[in-house]
A and B are shown apart, each in its own frame.
Chain A
Amino acid sequence: MSATTAPAGADQVSAPPPTELAAGEHRRTLLGSTVQSVLAVVVALVLGGLLIAVTDEKVRDAAGYFFARPGDTLSAMWTAASSAYVAMFHGAVYNPSGATFADRIYPFTETLTVATPLILAGLGVALAFRAGLFNIGAQGQILVGATLAAWVGFSWHLPAGIHLIAVVAAGALGGAVWGGIVGLVKARTGAHEVILTIMLNYVALNLVAWLLTLPSFQREGSSNPISPAVDGTAMFPKLLGEHFRLHWGFALAVLATVAVAWLLHRSTVGFELRAVGANPRAARTAGISVTRGFVVVMLLAGLLAGLAGTAQVSGTEHSLTAGVAASFGFDAITVALLGRSTPWGTFFAGILYGAFRAGGVTMQSMTGTNIDIVLVVQSLIVLFVALPPLFTFAVRRSRASTHSQEAA
């Protein structure tokens, strides 16, 4: 249960749920929390569908004579919501009307492309959660990482291979610096990381906007705030051939997930970070430096977000604009929450949200449903994942099913 605070520690995010459970019920709790995640997604989708339905024009027309023929209204509602979701599915997973096999699976590769920065930045947020830190600054860390990556990409002209490595390293460095500032200031002065990260997001945004007015960052012959395109050698190669946008950045995201999983569960550093997150006082008593933990985890969190910025610049956008981070940094928070701050949970939550994003674009062009519905569904999911009554309901359901099996 990632979003409930235990009474003892305010900063603690991945605390156990307040529901009191006997020790032997651990497995059932785990099942319950998975059931709850699924339930949360379903309930959020139903509510989103209702919202699409009641705002639909045809539904409003039919509602004018609701008492004469209520069936018309209901069927119009069903049509509005289902066609929107079907279009979203076609845009996110599989498009049955594609001419070739490649066309038909193209949507799913789009989903993975969009998921790449979400996973990377989400891992950064999740890692900080585990150390008890609330990193709202992924947006700024992505921006700074993207800026440095883009600068190395278009102004250093290095041979193929080395150039890409330099770009990735620059992106990671940029994010790590922006995240590290937070860790350092928190460790030195005790300032709250939530305030620091929110403020640094805006500082980064203005910094990038200013850089893009400078001649060295300005694309030649353009008056828009856009940087020159990065060199071909600075771009991620395509993963599945030129037909798809999917690039090797996705492989980097998989690699990062494996690395974070190893770091958290198999390394001393990860153990120390989790100890700091679980109980800072106990960690200090055990000889773990809590302040050093803050710096290390924010460096790593920023590094991961910086890689997300690199994936944007050298994977899909190929140049720097003030909008290069889109809203990935904020979405990353919801991704990490849905993934319950575990590496693989974050990975799959990133793919789910990538599917919403990619499918939302298709939905908007096919059925005219506004893409902002995706934001609504995403935030509702996180709210429901955090809602204890839904959790107790899920646990009771799974317990009831076990009981009925025992009775039979």
Chain B
Amino acid sequence: MSTTASQPTSHAPAPRGPAPDADLATSAANRAVGVRTYRPAIGLGILALVSFLVFALHTSAREVQFRFSETGDAVRLPDMEVAAAPFGWVVTAVLAALAVAAGVRARALPRWAMVLAGLAFVAGFLVWIVGTAQTPSISLTALLAGSVALATPLVFGSLGGLLCERSGVVNIAIEAQLLFGAFSAAVAATVSGSPWVGLLAAVLGSVLVSVVLALFAIRYRVNQVIVGVVLNVLVSGLTGFLFATVLQPSAELFNSPPRLPHVRIPLLAEIPVVGPVLFDQSVIGYLMYATVAVVWFALYRTRWGLRTRAVGEHPKAADTLGVPVNALRVRNVLLGGAVAGLGGAFYTLVSVSAFTRDMTAGSGYIALAALIFGRWNPVGALLASLLFGFASNLESILSFLDTPVPSQFLAMLPYVVTILAVAGLVGRSRGPAASGEPYVKE
């Protein structure tokens, strides 16, 4: 909920819909035009109310333990004990203060304040829910490291989708790209004996899906959503069939890929909490940060990026200025496939050691959700993916802790916040204007 990244190219949407729908991130657009709005105040007020009723009043009077380090770490920090009830009051006070500030100003707060509000709410929720568990103790390192691991394929998937959508091609086939990337990686790495060949194969396999998407969506102008949906079914069926007929009977020949190396950066990895999360990862984990940075820079600071965004917003204008619209779209769709393929490789070369049927289990759709919730912005997509990864990691950790909140509700979270985001209740997510429309040169 802290993704208030602005899009330079999108114009400010006129505020509409019922007023109380607002929430914390309506911000950027409204701030740009200086509209008097009470939406942020109302949104923050609702968060403060929830915090008051749940985190402050309805909490256990216990100490919640956060473990920073495990036995055996070089640097050991003492565990942090937080009293659940007072912490709930603090979170409520912070949110209420921000709501009042927003109300007095009658406009959006600066971005840091919104990030603070989001973090405070998430922290309040975390303390509250761990407080309700049988044993109120949780390893912060495991929680964060697991979140980053679960978020990795989502980040690649949403960046792949972003490259397509910013140039005006809707990509519903992220799921197919991840799945086919995972499949190709498993087979190629096993046959060649090298995980690096597997990584390359994942990229190529995923690009192959992109080729079909580009052929149908751009060359033949078939409805892009249809092609995406059908590609998902096709790849699910194809990999499922090949898995059952070829991979499963002779697993040692085709489906026992070697893992990509885990790189532990000396010294940096010894930093408590941050070290294991950031500096003790698979190669793909480091690639993830690099890709986000490269895509952000390329999109907002290069000629290619400007052209890509122009083609996604107003292809006719771009064409008038001599940008080859469809050629650029094809190139970006293929590029997007390559990026998504890296995420696919994560499944079979890093997290699990073999391909199984439908192993991506809908992650492509969550990546799509992250792309939208992150407002078609690379950094936003990264943050949204991390939030969704955090939610699903929390879900699996809490299932051991026995809390009163059903795990299904945490699993629902990414989808619900996406619905709220596209409906304009949590900020307003507007896609590139020409996304989904084929371009015909006149």
- Name A's B-contacting residues (CB within 8 A): 3-5, 7, 10, 13, 18, 51, 55-57, 134, 136, 185, 188-189, 191-192, 194-196, 198-200, 202-203, 206-207, 209-210, 213, 330, 333-334, 337, 369-370, 372-376, 378-380, 382-383, 386-389
Residue B436 is within 8 A (CB to CB) of chain A in the complex = yes
Are B226 and A10 in contact, with the CB atoms below 8 A? no
- With contacts A196-B419, A206-B412, A378-B233 known, is A189 near B424, CB below 8 A? yes
Instruction: List B residues 201-225 near A (Cβ within 8 Å).
Output: 216, 220-225
Residues of chain A contacted by B241 (CB below 8 angstroms): 51, 55, 370, 372-373, 375-376
Nearest 5 interchain pairs by C-beta: A375-B237, A372-B240, A379-B234, A210-B408, A370-B244
B258 CB to nearest chain A CB (Å):
24
Docked pose: A375 CA to B239 CA in angstroms: 10
Docked pose: A274 CA to B418 CA in angstroms: 30
Docked pose: A351 CA to B1 CA in angstroms: 46
Residues of chain A contacted by B372 (CB below 8 angstroms): 195
Are A134 and B408 in contact, with the CB atoms below 8 A? no
- With contacts A195-B418, A195-B422 known, is A18 near B369, CB below 8 A? no
- With contacts A374-B237, A378-B233 known, is A7 near B440, CB below 8 A? yes
- With contacts A374-B237, A379-B237, A386-B227 known, is A206 near B418, CB below 8 A? no
Are A5 and B216 in contact, with the CB atoms below 8 A? no
Docked pose: A195 CA to B220 CA in angstroms: 24
Residue B245 is within 8 A (CB to CB) of chain A in the complex = yes
Are B234 and A375 in contact, with the CB atoms below 8 A? yes
Docked pose: A370 CA to B249 CA in angstroms: 12
Are B368 and A195 in contact, with the CB atoms below 8 A? yes
Docked pose: A18 CA to B440 CA in angstroms: 11
Are B244 and A337 in contact, with the CB atoms below 8 A? no
Residues of chain A contacted by B411 (CB below 8 angstroms): 206
A132 CB to nearest chain B CB (Å):
11
Docked pose: A189 CA to B13 CA in angstroms: 12
Q: Which residue of A lies closest to B18 (CB)?
A: A188
Are B172 and A207 in contact, with the CB atoms below 8 A? no
Docked pose: A192 CA to B229 CA in angstroms: 16
Are A188 and B221 in contact, with the CB atoms below 8 A? no
Are B246 and A194 in contact, with the CB atoms below 8 A? no
Are A383 and B234 in contact, with the CB atoms below 8 A? yes
Residue B365 is within 8 A (CB to CB) of chain A in the complex = yes
Residues of chain A contacted by B16 (CB below 8 angstroms): 189
Question: Which of B216, B222, B241, B440 has the largest number of chain A CB atoms within 10 A?
Answer: B241
Residues of chain A contacted by B409 (CB below 8 angstroms): 206, 210
Are B222 and A5 in contact, with the CB atoms below 8 A? yes
Docked pose: A386 CA to B17 CA in angstroms: 37
Are B422 and A337 in contact, with the CB atoms below 8 A? no
Residues of chain B contacted by A4 (CB below 8 angstroms): 220-223
Are B230 and A383 in contact, with the CB atoms below 8 A? yes
Given A195-B369, A372-B240, 9 more pairs with CB closer than 8 A: A5-B222, A136-B225, A206-B408, A210-B406, A213-B406, A380-B234, A383-B227, A386-B226, A389-B220
Contact of B408 among A57, A194, A207 (CB under 8 A): A207
Are B408 and A189 in contact, with the CB atoms below 8 A? no
Residues of chain A contacted by B246 (CB below 8 angstroms): 55
Instruction: List B residues 3-52 near A (Cβ within 8 Å).
Output: 16-17
Q: Which residue of B lies closest to A369 (CB)?
A: B245
Are B220 and A388 in contact, with the CB atoms below 8 A? yes
Residues of chain A contacted by B422 (CB below 8 angstroms): 189, 191-192, 195-196
Are A185 and B408 in contact, with the CB atoms below 8 A? no
Are B431 and A192 in contact, with the CB atoms below 8 A? yes
Residue B194 is within 8 A (CB to CB) of chain A in the complex = no
Total count of chain B residues near the partner, CB < 8 A: 51
Question: Which of B170, B230, B231, B240 has the largest number of chain A CB atoms within 10 A?
Answer: B230
- With contacts A194-B172, A370-B241 known, is A203 near B17, CB below 8 A? no
Residue B80 is within 8 A (CB to CB) of chain A in the complex = no
Docked pose: A330 CA to B249 CA in angstroms: 29
Are A191 and B237 in contact, with the CB atoms below 8 A? no
Residue B53 is within 8 A (CB to CB) of chain A in the complex = no
Contact of B240 among A57, A200, A206, A370 (CB under 8 A): A370
Residue B93 is within 8 A (CB to CB) of chain A in the complex = no
- With contacts A195-B422, A334-B230, A370-B241 known, is A386 near B415, CB below 8 A? no
Are A334 and B237 in contact, with the CB atoms below 8 A? no
Residue B317 is within 8 A (CB to CB) of chain A in the complex = no
A405 CB to nearest chain B CB (Å):
31
A154 CB to nearest chain B CB (Å):
21
A120 CB to nearest chain B CB (Å):
19
Residue B242 is within 8 A (CB to CB) of chain A in the complex = yes
Are B234 and A200 in contact, with the CB atoms below 8 A? no
Are B233 and A55 in contact, with the CB atoms below 8 A? no
Are B412 and A202 in contact, with the CB atoms below 8 A? yes
Docked pose: A81 CA to B419 CA in angstroms: 45
Are B424 and A191 in contact, with the CB atoms below 8 A? yes
Are B226 and A199 in contact, with the CB atoms below 8 A? no
Complex A-B: 20 CB contacts under 8 Å: A3-B223, A4-B220, A7-B438, A7-B440, A13-B226, A55-B242, A134-B226, A136-B225, A199-B365, A200-B419, A206-B408, A330-B229, A369-B245, A372-B238, A372-B240, A379-B233, A382-B226, A383-B216, A383-B230, A386-B230
Residue B59 is within 8 A (CB to CB) of chain A in the complex = no
Instruction: List B residues 425-440 near A (Cβ within 8 Å).
Output: 431, 436-438, 440
Docked pose: A328 CA to B357 CA in angstroms: 19
A62 CB to nearest chain B CB (Å):
16
B133 CB to nearest chain A CB (Å):
18
Instruction: List B residues 389-442 near A (Cβ within 8 Å).
Output: 406, 408-409, 411-412, 415-416, 418-419, 422-424, 431, 436-438, 440
A185 CB to nearest chain B CB (Å):
5
Docked pose: A374 CA to B422 CA in angstroms: 35
Residue B261 is within 8 A (CB to CB) of chain A in the complex = no
Docked pose: A330 CA to B234 CA in angstroms: 12
Are A333 and B229 in contact, with the CB atoms below 8 A? yes
Docked pose: A206 CA to B419 CA in angstroms: 15
Are B216 and A386 in contact, with the CB atoms below 8 A? yes
Are B240 and A375 in contact, with the CB atoms below 8 A? yes
Are A330 and B233 in contact, with the CB atoms below 8 A? yes
Question: Which of A57, A213, A372, A387 has the largest number of chain B CB atoms within 10 A?
Answer: A372
Docked pose: A57 CA to B231 CA in angstroms: 27
Docked pose: A5 CA to B424 CA in angstroms: 28
Q: Which residue of A lies closest to B212 (CB)?
A: A383
Docked pose: A389 CA to B216 CA in angstroms: 11
